[in-house]
Amino acid sequence: MQVAFLWHMHQPDYRDRDRREILLPWVRLHALKDYYDMPARLERFEGIHQTFNLVPSLLEQLEAYGKEGWRETELELFLRPAALLTLQEKQAVSDSFFDASEERMIKPHPRYASLLREKRLRSFSDLVQRWSEQEWRDLQFWRQLSWVDPMIRDRDPALADLIRQGQNFTESQKDLLRERMQYWLRETIGVYARLQAKGTIEISLSPFYHPILPLLIDPSSVREAMPECPLPEPHSPHPEDARVQMELAIAFFEDRFGVKPRGVWPPEGAVSEETVSLMAELGIGWVASDEDILARSLGRPVRNPHGNRTIARDDLYRPYRTLGGKGPVILFRDHRLSDLIGFEFQRWPPEEAAHYLVQELLSIQSRWTGPEPPLVSIVLDGENCWEYYSDDGGPFLDALYGKILETPNLKSVTVSEALEGRTPLPVDRLAAGSWINGNFHIWMGEEADRRAWALVEEARRVLEEEERKGTVSEEDLCEARTEIYVAQGSDWYWWFGDTHNAANLTRFDEMFRQHLVRVYTLLRRRTPDSLLAPLEIPSTQDLNYPEPTLLAGPVIDGSVTHYYEWLSAARHDARYSGGAMRVAGESGIECLYYGGDESGFYLRADPSRPLLKKGTHCRWEILVTVPNRLLFRFYLTPQGYEIRKTRQIDKEVGRTSEGSEEVLDGTKARAVEGSVFEVMLTWDVLETGDEETLSFFVSILTGKGERETIPSLSSLCMTIPGRGRLGRPWFV
């Protein structure tokens, strides 16, 4: 019998192309922990052949680490000298540098574990007081070292020495660690090409940015398995985008590996008749999906009850040919065996787990009655499960591969090797669905999913309009299309809604919207308000921001008159605007302070660059979006700031018209710029009522003549104070 392992390697696209910044570290960390050792391990076991599915956007991100001009937010935080870490940077280190499996990746390292214990016992302010540079520096190091796979440690004496050292790391050692990480990132890409050329592995691919192809080709395909599911509004089929995503992937594959790919793992195992028709047109030989899709396609179960579990029928362990026998071959994974590796065996002793899996394979062979040997497909994520195994899964995989080699008549083969000499059975019609419950609920079944799809469609239509007009450069149109393709990726919709949750859900929400915001920016269109508010609004009980109770309104004089003047105001650090920490000096605004009393609203902006003192330009703007859309422009004149108010009206997606402009007198609005910029606007001029919500943005004219908006993605909000009572602010 044959077993075909397919390991799917994928991460979302974490790149901010405008700033050439990689916002999250997971591609780099998983490369060090999983992407290299998974194929390299096979060099120890001649005769074990496997398939690795590599998503082009993942490889492209890996390559970015070796290209000049790209930087990673967290890597820069590691490289920052511990003595120079600001309070905000220490907060970021404390919040994210323990993000790993405690049992498998933190506890085995005494220094790392002790830092985590102390973090849990003390408040952040206590840590800042108690920890020296050394504690912060050791934490910076262990964040990186804990993600280095044992195989890489064994092969790299410099990394092994750092791990043995354990603590008291020095700043000079950071350059060494960075260089070794860069080396292994380069080796990661090379090992796949080398082993494919040798015949040990087969590399398959997915569409470039990992979209759910059936939903992209036809959103109504969600209703095949979920007839009552609402559709996003607006929505449109985009088979042309599905084709482009596949053509880009194939071209990338041929450029990097020198051959055309034979097979495709459709993202999330999502297939449909239209999907395999596209694959056939593009010359793809095989695809894979889940056993639930086979059951729905055949119209009968593929498992029979057997005691307290089920036994798969012979139907599951043979290949099929789609499009009534004329399309690509399709394999259906054994869901149970795949999940044993993905979720269960991490709790088993490695030898026992390996033995059990081999015995399960042999039991399939013993029951087999088909004319050809059984072909068992085990398909799963090749990266995320291993952090919950001892030694990153190495002992389990070594035991498993060894037992397969020792077992007569059991071969581990690539998918293409498995299909040689076999006669696939025709399947008349392929059901539309994914590897989760055979449907698309995760990606379109919840309201937040559909809101996200609608935002993409709205941006897509604006792009089409600008393409027809021909007023935007081809370069900007191309970049805007890329941002659309990225926003079509499956990962964003995985996290939206109540089905899944993650500690960094807010960050994913922001990154998704940022891709669409950039579409409008590139097209010179106004960003719609729908992109400035989160798709997922956190419970107000989870928000913890200072009360902006300004019992005595600040003096509007352009300076911090006294220590207590803004002490109780809400504070927003602009360097963290948009979900990613900004490089010092990149933003024109360092901090915003805001609040109110019964008469009016107060704002203070602390610029991060020298103030412009000449000219009549409009340096500052405040855009109010709730309860009414109002724009306040601040023009510098010899007599001070002249404040003009304009009502804005949305006429269509991406466009705004303006009403007449009103110049406000000093009783309604005041603004002074000195060492800081201070503003007062009465509630009347803001057109607010008691206890309404005020939502607003602040923008500043940059040195390049462009405007920077703070926050970049989500508005600042507060409750308008009622008579005798002040509200509590919240930040979306």
DSSP state of 43: G
Q: Which two structure tokens, joined as six digits, stand for 195? A: 């082993």
Query: How far apart, in whole angstroms, are the C-alpha atoms of residue 149 and residue 108?
Result: 13
Task: For residue 347, count other CB atoms closer than 10 A to its CB.
Answer: 9
Q: What is the pLDDT of residue 280?
A: 98
Domain with CATH 1.20.1430 in the chain: 446-537
CA 573 to chain centre: 23
Q: What is the pLDDT of residue 689?
A: 75
Q: What is the pLDDT of residue 373?
A: 96
CB contact set of 359 (below 8 Å; sequence gap of 6+) = none
Task: For residue 586, count other CB atoms closer than 10 A to its CB.
Answer: 13
Sequence-separated contacts (24+) of 702-705 with Cβ below 8 Å: 702/588, 703/609
DSSP state of 312: E
Q: What is the pLDDT of residue 728?
A: 38
Q: Which two structure tokens, joined as six digits, stand for 341? A: 């590796």
Domain with CATH 2.60.40 in the chain: 541-731
| 365-383 core/surface letters (b: 16 or more CB in 10 A; e: else) | eeeeeeeebbbbbbbbbbb
User: Residue 554: is the preceding peptide bond cis (ω within 30°)?
Assistant: no
Sequence-separated contacts (24+) of 446-449 with Cβ below 8 Å: 446/496, 446/497, 446/498, 446/499, 447/497, 448/496, 448/497, 448/535, 448/536, 449/232, 449/493, 449/496, 449/497
Torsion of CA 333, 336, 341, 347, to 10 degrees: 170
Of 557, 577, 574, the closest CA to residue 566 belongs to: 557
pLDDT, tens only, 141-156:
999 999 999 999 999 9
- 136: three-class secondary structure by DSSP: helix
Q: What is the pLDDT of residue 727?
A: 40
CATH number for the segment(s) 541-731 = 2.60.40
Task: Estimate the crossing angle of helix 172-198 against helix 239-257, to 10 degrees.
Answer: 100
- 650: three-class secondary structure by DSSP: strand
Q: What is the pTM of this model?
A: 0.83
pLDDT, tens only, 536-564:
755 443 444 345 767 668 999 999 888 77
Residue 150's φ and ψ, nearest 5 degrees, are: -55, -35
Residue 449: left (phi > 0), alpha (psi -120 to 50), or beta?
alpha
Residue 640: left (phi > 0), alpha (psi -120 to 50), or beta?
left
Query: How far apart, in whole angstroms, are the C-alpha atoms of residue 208 and residue 244?
Result: 9
CB contact set of 475 (below 8 Å; sequence gap of 6+) = none
Q: What is the pLDDT of residue 564?
A: 73
| Residue 396 CA: distances (Å) to CA of 240, 337, 342, 399, 410 | 43, 15, 12, 5, 18
Of 273, 292, 290, 291, the closest CA to residue 281 belongs to: 273
Query: How far apart, in whole angstroms, are the C-alpha atoms of residue 624 and residue 677?
Result: 18
Please tell me the class of the 446-537 domain. Answer: mainly alpha
Q: What is the pLDDT of residue 587?
A: 61
Amino acid at 22: I
Residues of the chain with pLDDT below 50 are 539-546, 578-585, 611-616, 651-656, 723-732
User: Which residue carries 């085995």 as its tokens?
Assistant: 108
**% helix, strand, coil for the chain, step of 5:** 45, 20, 35
Task: For residue 477, count other CB atoms closer than 10 A to its CB.
Answer: 16
Q: What is the pLDDT of residue 585?
A: 41
Beta bridge partners of 525: none
Q: What is the pLDDT of residue 714?
A: 66
Q: Which two structure tokens, joined as six digits, stand for 324? A: 């009534």
Query: How far apart, in whole angstroms, are the C-alpha atoms of residue 318 and residue 302?
Result: 12
Q: What is the pLDDT of residue 569?
A: 84
Q: Which two structure tokens, joined as six digits, stand for 68? A: 């000049």
Strand pairing category for 15-16 and 21-22: antiparallel
Q: What is the pLDDT of residue 553?
A: 80
